[in-house]
Structure 1
Amino acid sequence: MDGFVCKKLTEWGLAELTEKFKDEGIDEEILYLLDDPEIDSLIPRVGHRAKFKNKLKLLKEEKNTTTNQETVNSSAQCRQEPEEAADLDLDLPSTSYTSDKGKRKLDLQGESSRPQTKKPRHDTIPGSYREKIILNKVKNIMRLVDDRIPKQDNKKLNSFLKTKISELETDKREMVGVFGKTGAGKSSLINAVIGRKNLLPSGGISACTSVMIKVEANMQKKYEADIEFITKEVWNDELWSLFNFLEDNDTDEKLSALYGEEWKNKKPENLMDHKYFKEIPEFLHSRRKTLTCESAEELSVKLVKYTRSEKTDGESKDIKRWYWPLVKCVTIRFPSNDLLQHVTLVDLPGNGDRNKSRDEMWKEVVGSCSTVWIVTDINRATAETEPWEILERTCSLMGNGGQCQKIHFICTKSDVIEDSDDHSSDKVRALIFKRNMQAKEEVKKEFNKLNKVKKHFSDDCFEVFTVSSKEFLKQKDLNQDDTEIPKLQEFLKDLNDCHSETLNYVSGAYGILSLIQGARRTEVVAQKTEVCTILEDKMRQELEKVRKPMEEAYKVFEKCLSEGVERSKPSCQQALSSIYPSEVSGRGFHRILKCVVQNNGTYTPKKGDIKKQINLNVDLASRLTDSIDEEFKKTFPNKRKYGPFNGVINNFSLDTERLIQKYKDVELQLTFLKTEEEKMKTKLNKIIQYNKKKIYNSLTTTIEEAMKECYKKAADFRGQGSVKNMRDTIEKHVYDSKNIMFQQAKDKMLNQLTKLKEDMLKSLETTMQESIDHSLKTDGDSILDVTVELAKVKKHYNEPMGPDEETLTW
C-alpha cells in the first residue's frame, strides 16, 4: 500500500483499515478502481463500509473534475500556443498518444514533443491505459475471490481453484539483445528509444566489453541498478589465469583497473585481501549491490566504475578503483515506461567472455533473446567486419539453439553527411534519404551472402533500420526519413503486448469463475456424465494426433544424424586445425592453446576479436549440427504463429465450443475447459521452446563432455615441448574416440526428443483430465457464489480489446 491510501484512510477516520488495505495491496491506482462488491468484501462492518463508499465517491468526483479541467486547459494551450509549448522543458509522461494514427509515441524525459494540433476527444481512453484498468479490476476481483474460497469444505476442489488463480499471474518478459562494437552508438540508441537522454553513459568513457547491462522499466519512482558480481572463487581462479596464461596487456588492463599499480609486486593469493573490496562488501558476501537514485544522470555517474573502462578525461579522473572486472551483470530499472513493461533491453558483449560464469550467462541471455539488434555506424555498415562476424558466430545460439524471431540491423548516425552542418535543408535531406536507402540495400545484399546464418533465419526475419539518436534526442523538425527510432519504439510496443497480458488474464479468470459457479449446480448429473464421456473419447483421439507427428520427426532426425555421424569421423583433422598456430607463433600460441585446454576447448580473445575465437567442441560437432539445421528450423520454428511439430499443439482441441451449443446446462464447466485448453497449449509451447534449445545444444555439450578428460590431461603439461604434448594429447583422444563420441551425441539428442514427446503427451493428458474431473465429476454444493464477479469479468471478456480508433492526446 502506498502513502496516498494511508493518508486518505486517516483523513476519513478509517485508520484501523490500514493493515487490511495493506495486506490486499490496495494502492492509489486500485483505490479508484474499487466497486461496491469489492468494497463489501474488503470492509465487513456496515458503518465503516458506508462511510468509505461515500468518501471514495467524493474523491472520485473531485479527481474527475480536476482531470477534465486540466485536460481542457492543456488542449486549449496546445491550440493557442503550440510554439511556446514546444520550447518548454517539462517532465512529461513517457508515452503520448497521437490521435491521427491511434499509435503511441515515446516522449523524452525533460523534453516535450510538438503538441498535436488535432482536437482531442475527452470521452475516450487510450487503449493500453483502458486495458490496464481492466486488468487491475479483474486482478482485484480474483484476489478477493481467492480470499473467500473456504479452506475446509471441498478441500480438493478448493485447492485446485486456488492453484488455478495463482497460475493466472505470469511474468512475461521479452528479451532484446543489443550487439555492437564500442563507438557504434549502442548507448545513445538505447537512451533515445526509451526516452531517457542520460541513462546510459555515451562518449568520453569507453564501454567495458565484459559487462552485460540489462535495462528494464521500474514500477517505482526511483532509478535503480542491481549489480551482480562474479563469486570470490571465480575471481581467484581468474587471477591465476591472468598471471599465467593470458596476454600481458589484457592482464595489465584488468588488474590495473581494480588494484592500480599494487598488483605488479604481489602474488595472486595476496590480491584477494579484503582491503581491496571495502567499497563493495557485497562481492565478499556473494550479494548484489543496489544503487538507488532520483535521476538518470545521478545513476549514470554512480554506475561508471562498474560498467565502463578507465579513461583519464572528464569526471572519471576522480575514480580510483574500477570494479568492472568483478561485475557479471548490471540491471538498470527506471520509472514507468510502457515500452519496457514486459521487455528487457540487453547491451551484450560481442562474443562472450573468458570468465566462465560470465560466458555461461552470456550464452543463456543470447539464447533467450526473441529479437536481436546489431548496431553499427551507417558509413561502415558493410565494410565493418565485426557486426557480420557477431552474426555468424552467434546465429546457432540465437536460431536453432535459441528463440530469436527477428534480427534488426541498425545503422546509426543516419543524419551525418560529411562537409555539411545544415541538415535541415531540402538538398541535404534528399542526400541523407538517398544514402540511407542505399545503405539498406547494401546491408540486405550482405546478409544474403551469409549461408551459415540463413540456415537459421529466413529473409523475412531480417530488417534494416537507419537511425539518428542525436537528432531524435534534440527533437528538431524530424520526419520519418531522418530517423527510424519511432519504428523501433513501435516494435517494442507490439513486443510488450499489454493487450495479450490482459486478454490472457481475463480469459483465465472468466474460466475459473465459470467453474466455481458451475460447480454449484448439482441437478445436472446425467448431462455431466454424458459430456464427460464425450470429452474423454475426444481427448484420446487428439492425443494420437499429437503423438504421430512427433514420432515422424524423430525418424527424420535419426536419419539426418546418422549421416552427420558418418561425415564427422573423416572431418576430425579439419576441426582440429584451430589448435595449430597460424598467425600467432611461439609463446603467444602457447598461451592461447593453454587457455583452450584450461577452458574446456574454448578461447575468447581480448577486445572481441571474433576471428581469433576458438571453440573446438563446436568445430567437432559442426557436421552433426549441419546435418539437422534445416529440419530443426522446420520442426521447432522460433516464430510462434507456426508452432512446433507442424502446429500439432496449437491444433489440439476438445471441441468445447460445439459442445457448449448442445449442452447448455453445463455451459459454465465447458467454458472453463475451453479457457484451460488454451492456457495449456500456451504453456506447452513455451516448454517446447525452452527444451528445444537444450536438445539442439546437446550435440555440442556431449562432445565437450567427451573431451573433458583430454583437456584436463593436456593442461598439466609444462615447460619445453608442452605445445606439442598438448596438441598430441588432444589429437590422440579425438581419433581414439571418434567412433564413439559422435554416436553418443546423436543418441543423447534422440533420447531427449523421445523424452520431450512423452512429457508433452503426459502433461496434456494429465492436465486436461484433471480439469475434466474437477469440472464434471466434483460435487460443489458448498462452494461460494460468484454470480456478481462472473458477470463483471464476462463483460470484460466479451468487450473488444485494443486502442480506440481515436485516442486521447496526452
Structure 2
Amino acid sequence: MDGFVRNKLTEWKLSDWIEAFEAQEIDKESLYLLNDQEIDQLITKAGPRVKFKDKLKLLKEEQNTTQPQKEAVNTSGQSPVTAQHSPFLLHYQEQDQQKLLNSNIVPHQDLPSISEKGKRKSELEFDECQPSPKRQDNCAAGSQSETEILSDVKDIMRRVSQRLHGRDKLSAFLKDKIKDLETEKRHLVGVFGRTGAGKSSLINAIINKEGLLPSGSVSACTSVMIKVEATNGSKYEAHIEFITKKDWENEVQSLKLALEEDDDDDGGNGDCLDRDETLSALYGEEWKEKSTHSLMDNKYFRDIPEFQMSKIKILESDSAEGLSEKFVRYTRSESNETEEVKRWYWPLVKCVTVKVPDNDFLDHVTLVDLPGNGDSNRSRDQMWTELIASCSTVWIVTEMTRAASEREAWDILEGVSSLLGNGGECQQIHFICTKSDHEKPDDINKVKKAVMNAFKKRETITNHFSEDSFQVFTVSTKEFLKGENVNPDVNEILKLKEILKNLNDAHSETSNYVSGAHGILSLIQGARSREVVEQKNEVCAVLEGNLSIQHNRVKKAIEDITKAFEQHLREGVEKSQNLCERKLRSFLHPSKTRERSFHRTLKYAVRNDGIQKPRIGKPKDLNMILASCLTESIDEKFRKTFPNDLKCGNFNGAIDAFSLSTDSLIEKYKNVELQLTFLQTEEKKMKTKLNKTILTQKKLIYNSLTETIRSNMKGCYKEAAAFEGPGTLKRMRDTIERHVESKKYMFEEAKNAMLEQLNDLKETVLRTLKKTMEESIEHSLKTEACSLPDVLEHLEMVKKHCDELNGDQDEKKNS
C-alpha cells in the first residue's frame, strides 16, 4: 500500500479501513481498477462502502478530466478504431478541428492534433461538437430506444463537463449540476408466504431460472433473507452477509438460557424445538455439553473465514443450479435434515444476495424473499424492518385452495401493514394464489372475489391501503415452467412479469436525466449571450417575486396540516391515557394461554424491548400496542398527507403546485428563453428531489410515536428481564404495570416528538425550495459567464430526445 491510498482514505474520513487496504496491497494503480465486488470485500459496512464508491467515482472523473487519454496504437501505427473506421473518423476530426479554430475555445495544449498520416486525436477530444457515427446511424434508422437515448445524452454531458475548464462560479455550478443528474431508483418487491406456498418456485418462474432458489428455501419463521437482483457479469453469484461474531455469541447465550428455562418449566413447544434446531444446525449435538465461550472456538467457523473477518462471502457458478447447490447450506431448506452435509451455516447468515446475469426483469428491480415475522437477532431484525419499509410492491403468496381463509398469510400482511403503509413506501399489494393448475375461470373469479372481501374486512390493513392498491392474481409455476400452453386468465404469471417490466421501465430515470440535461445545456448556451442585461434584470425581479409568493403558499399549507395533526394527536393522547391499562392487561393476561407457557413468552418479550416473535402466529409489540391510539388517531390523515403514490402529491399537492410560472415568462421574454428553460427543469428536478426526501422522512415521523414509547419503556423491560426464580411472572407483570401507570406522560412526549419532526421537515422543505431556486436564478441571470463552450448542436440533439420522450409518454397516457 502506498502513501497515495493512505492519504485518500484519511482525506475521505475512511481511515478505519486503511488496514484492510494494506492487507490486500492496494496501491494507487490498483485503487483505480477496483470493481464493486472487490470493494464489497474490502469495506464490509454499507455506510462507509457507499461513501468510498462515491469518492472513488469522483476521483476517476477528476483524473479523466485532467489527464488526456493515451492513444492505443497498433502495429500499423494507427489506433484500433482508426484502422477500422478511418474515413469516418478523419471526416469528423477535420470538422471538429476547424470548429475549434473558428470558436472562442482554446483547445487543451496537451491534446494531439491530426497528423498527415491520419492518427486520430485523443478519445476525449474526439467528437466534441458532432454526434458519433454510431449515434448518427441510430437516428437515421428511426427513433431510438430509451436506453440508447440515455446513453447518448450521458455521453454528451460527460464531454460537455470536460469542456467546462473555467474556474469561475458558473462553471463550477454547471459541473455540479451535471453530476447531480446521475440518479438510479431500484424498486424492492417483497415476497412473503408460509413454507410450501410456492414463493421460491414463483421467483424462479418469474425470472426464468427454474433451479435458482431451492424449494422451501425460506419459511415464514426463518431468519434468512434472500435478495435476487441483476449482475453485469457473466456468472451467477451469491453474496453472503453474516451477522457479527459478537451477535452470534449473544444469540447462543440467549438460546441456551431459554432452553434451560424451558427444561425447568417442563415445557417443550414449537419455540423450544426451533431453538434446538438453530444450535444443532451449526454444532450438531456438541452445543448441549459446552459453554457459550467454548462454542465460539474458531474450529466451528474454519470453513467460513469471512464470518470471523466480518466480510461478505462470494460464491460463483456458471449456472443457476450450480450456484443453488453452493449456497443451500447458507439458507434454511426443507431438505436440510435429509442431506449429507456436516454443518449448516444459515444461523450465522444475515442476508444472501443472489445475482443473476442477463435478466432484463431485474435491471432496476430487486426481489426480496422475506420471512414473515422478522427475527430475534437484532441486526437481522433491523435489516428486515428496513427492507420492508423500502418495498414499493409486496407479494403475499398462498395456495389457491385456501387463499381467502389462510390465517398465516393474512397475519403476515396485518403484522407488516404499518411498516409498508404509513411507515413505508409500498404502493401495491399483490395477493398471489399459487397452484391454479386446471382451475376453471369461474372458480378463479370466485377465489378472487373471496380474497377481496377478506381484504375489506381487515381494518388493520385498510387503515394503510385502499382497495385500488390491492390486487389478486392466480398462478401455476409448475405449468409455466413446463412451457405448456398457458391460459392467461387462469395462470397470470405473464401479468406479474408485465408489472415487473413496468417497474423496470427506465422512462422516469431517462426522462429526468434528459430533461435536466436539456436545462443545463440551455443555460450554457444562453449564458454565452451578453446582450440582454436589462431584460435579465426585469425577469429576475419577476421570478424573485413569484418565488416569495409560492414559498409562502407552501409554508401555509404545511402549517395548516401540522395544526390538524396536532389536534388529532391531542385526542390520541387522551385516549391513550384512558385505555393504556386495558390494552396492557390484554397483553399481560392473554386469554386461553397457560401461565407456564406465558411466563416464557413474556420473558422473551422483556429481553427484546417488548417485542414477542413466536415461531408460529402473529408477532406482538407491546410498544406498538401502547402507541396504537396515537397512530390510529392520525392514520387516515397521514396517508392523505404523505401518499406512497407520489402522483397524489405530498402535503395535499402543495409542493407539486409550486411554480415560478416560467411558461408565461418564456412567451414574454424570448431573449432569455434558454435561461428560463433551465429554471423550468431545475424546478421539476427540485420537486422530484423533495418528494424523495419527504418519502424517507415520513417513515421516521410516523414511527417516532412507537419509538418514543419504546424509549420510555426500556427501563422497565430491563428490570423485568432480571427477575429469576419463583414468582417471576407476577413480578414482571407488576413491574410493567407500575411503570406504565407512572409514565402516562410518555404519550404527550410521543405527540411532541412527532410534531417536532414535522416542523423539522417543514423547515427542510422550505429551505430546499428557497435555496435551490434562489441559487438557480442567481447563476442563470445574475452571474457573469466567462468562457463557456458553444453547445448549440448538443442542445438541439438533447431537445429532440426530450420531445421524443414526451411524445412517447403522451401516447402511453392516451392509449
Does the alignment pair 1:615 with 2:615?
A: no
CA distance in structure 1 between the partners assigned to 2:733 and 2:343 by the alignment: 40
Match of 1:260 among 258, 265, 284: 284
CA contact (8 A) 1:165 1:512 kept: yes
The one-character-per-residue Cα deviations of 1:749-785 (angstroms, maximum 9, x if unpaired) are 1111111111100110001101111101111132222
Does the alignment pair 1:761 with 2:761?
A: no
SS in 2 for 1:478: coil
Aligned residue number for residue 248 of structure 1? 272
Per-residue deviation, 1:10: 6.5
Does the alignment pair 1:682 with 2:750?
A: no
CA distance in structure 2 between the partners assigned to 1:729 and 1:324 by the alignment: 37
Per-residue deviation, 1:14: 7.1
Letter of the structure 1 residue corresponding to residue 770 of structure 2: E
CA distance in structure 2 between the partners assigned to 1:481 and 1:597 by the alignment: 50
Per-residue deviation, 1:123: 6.2
Letter of the structure 2 residue corresponding to residue 376 of structure 1: T
Could you state the TM-score of these two structures normalised by the residue count of structure 1? 0.82
Does the alignment pair 1:297 with 2:310?
A: no
Aligned residue number for residue 522 of structure 1? 530
Aligned residue number for residue 346 of structure 2? 324
SS in 2 for 1:245: helix
CA distance in structure 1 between the partners assigned to 2:230 and 2:335 by the alignment: 30
Letter of the structure 2 residue corresponding to residue 471 of structure 1: E
What value does the CA root-mean-square deviation take over the aligned residues? 3.3
Per-residue deviation, 1:45: 3.5
The one-character-per-residue Cα deviations of 1:281-321 (angstroms, maximum 9, x if unpaired) are 111111111122211111111110111236357xx723211
Structure 1 stretch displaced more, 473-482 or 707-716: 473-482
Match of 1:732 among 725, 732, 738: 738
Match of 2:406 among 378, 384, 403: 384
CA distance in structure 1 between the partners assigned to 2:248 and 2:781 by the alignment: 59
Match of 1:552 among 542, 557, 560: 560
CA contact (8 A) 2:437 2:476 kept: yes
Match of 1:415 among 432, 437, 444: 437
CA distance in structure 2 between the partners assigned to 1:555 and 1:134 by the alignment: 46
Match of 1:743 among 738, 748, 772: 748
Aligned residue number for residue 21 of structure 2? none
Aligned residue number for residue 653 of structure 2? 647
Match of 2:668 among 662, 665, 678: 662
The one-character-per-residue Cα deviations of 1:235-283 (angstroms, maximum 9, x if unpaired) are 1111111011254312210111111121111111111111111111111
CA contact (8 A) 1:212 1:346 kept: yes
CA contact (8 A) 1:196 1:296 kept: yes
Q: Tell me: CA distance 1:569–1:49, structure 2 relative to 1, closer, same or farther (3 Å).
A: farther
Per-residue deviation, 1:791: 2.3
Q: Tell me: CA distance 1:804–1:317, structure 2 relative to 1, closer, same or farther (3 Å).
A: same
CA distance in structure 1 between the partners assigned to 2:464 and 2:156 by the alignment: 45
1:333-732 to 2 correspondences below 5 Å: 333-416=355-438, 431-576=439-584, 577-580=586-589, 582-606=591-615, 609-611=616-618, 613-732=619-738
CA contact (8 A) 1:660 1:667 kept: yes
The one-character-per-residue Cα deviations of 1:648-695 (angstroms, maximum 9, x if unpaired) are 111111111111121111111111111110000000011111111111
Aligned residue number for residue 99 of structure 1? none
Structure 1 stretch displaced more, 588-597 or 532-541: 588-597
CA distance in structure 2 between the partners assigned to 1:790 and 1:364 by the alignment: 42
Aligned residue number for residue 19 of structure 2? none
Q: Tell me: CA distance 1:37–1:761, structure 2 relative to 1, closer, same or farther (3 Å).
A: farther
CA contact (8 A) 1:549 1:648 kept: yes
Does the alignment pair 1:212 with 2:225?
A: yes
Q: Tell me: CA distance 1:626–1:652, structure 2 relative to 1, closer, same or farther (3 Å).
A: same
Higher RCO, Cα 8 Å, sep 6+: 1
Could you state the TM-score of these two structures normalised by the residue count of structure 2? 0.82
CA distance in structure 1 between the partners assigned to 2:349 and 2:360 by the alignment: 29
CA distance in structure 2 between the partners assigned to 1:210 and 1:166 by the alignment: 39
Q: Tell me: CA distance 1:585–1:207, structure 2 relative to 1, closer, same or farther (3 Å).
A: closer
CA distance in structure 2 between the partners assigned to 1:511 and 1:701 by the alignment: 43
SS in 1 for 2:684: helix
Letter of the structure 2 residue corresponding to residue 448 of structure 1: K
Aligned residue number for residue 196 of structure 1? 209
Letter of the structure 2 residue corresponding to residue 215 of structure 1: V
CA contact (8 A) 1:522 1:781 kept: no
CA distance in structure 2 between the partners assigned to 1:268 and 1:311 by the alignment: 28
Letter of the structure 1 residue corresponding to residue 390 of structure 2: S
Letter of the structure 2 residue corresponding to residue 580 of structure 1: H
CA distance in structure 2 between the partners assigned to 1:563 and 1:203 by the alignment: 46
Letter of the structure 1 residue corresponding to residue 445 of structure 2: M
Q: Which runs of 5+ in 2 are unaligned?
A: 1-32, 35-68, 83-87, 98-106, 260-270
SS in 2 for 1:799: helix
Does the alignment pair 1:276 with 2:319?
A: no
Match of 2:177 among 151, 164, 180: 164
Aligned residue number for residue 70 of structure 1? none
CA contact (8 A) 2:135 2:152 kept: no
SS in 2 for 1:46: coil
CA contact (8 A) 2:184 2:509 kept: no
Q: Tell me: CA distance 1:63–1:695, structure 2 relative to 1, closer, same or farther (3 Å).
A: closer
The one-character-per-residue Cα deviations of 1:590-638 (angstroms, maximum 9, x if unpaired) are 22211111111111112xx233x22100000001111111111111111
SS in 1 for 2:540: helix
Does the alignment pair 1:227 with 2:227?
A: no
Letter of the structure 2 residue corresponding to residue 610 of structure 1: G
Q: Tell me: CA distance 1:477–1:349, structure 2 relative to 1, closer, same or farther (3 Å).
A: same
Letter of the structure 2 residue corresponding to residue 378 of structure 1: M
SS in 2 for 1:610: coil
CA contact (8 A) 1:467 1:482 kept: yes
Aligned residue number for residue 237 of structure 1? 250
CA distance in structure 1 between the partners assigned to 2:117 and 2:709 by the alignment: 68
Per-residue deviation, 1:50: 5.0
Match of 2:151 among 131, 136, 146: 136
The one-character-per-residue Cα deviations of 1:437-488 (angstroms, maximum 9, x if unpaired) are 1111111111111122111111111110011111111221223124111111
Q: Tell me: CA distance 1:683–1:49, structure 2 relative to 1, closer, same or farther (3 Å).
A: farther
Q: Tell me: CA distance 1:37–1:734, structure 2 relative to 1, closer, same or farther (3 Å).
A: farther
CA distance in structure 2 between the partners assigned to 1:35 and 1:174 by the alignment: 41
Q: How many residues align?
A: 708
CA contact (8 A) 1:310 1:322 kept: no
Q: Tell me: CA distance 1:603–1:659, structure 2 relative to 1, closer, same or farther (3 Å).
A: same
CA distance in structure 2 between the partners assigned to 1:334 and 1:406 by the alignment: 25
CA distance in structure 2 between the partners assigned to 1:599 and 1:287 by the alignment: 27
SS in 2 for 1:153: coil
Match of 1:46 among 108, 114, 118: 114
CA distance in structure 2 between the partners assigned to 1:161 and 1:367 by the alignment: 35
Q: Percent identity?
A: 55
CA distance in structure 1 between the partners assigned to 2:679 and 2:188 by the alignment: 32
CA distance in structure 1 between the partners assigned to 2:455 and 2:117 by the alignment: 66
Structure 1 stretch displaced more, 266-275 or 193-202: 193-202
SS in 1 for 2:229: strand
Q: Tell me: CA distance 1:767–1:124, structure 2 relative to 1, closer, same or farther (3 Å).
A: closer
CA contact (8 A) 2:193 2:220 kept: no
Q: Tell me: CA distance 1:724–1:305, structure 2 relative to 1, closer, same or farther (3 Å).
A: same
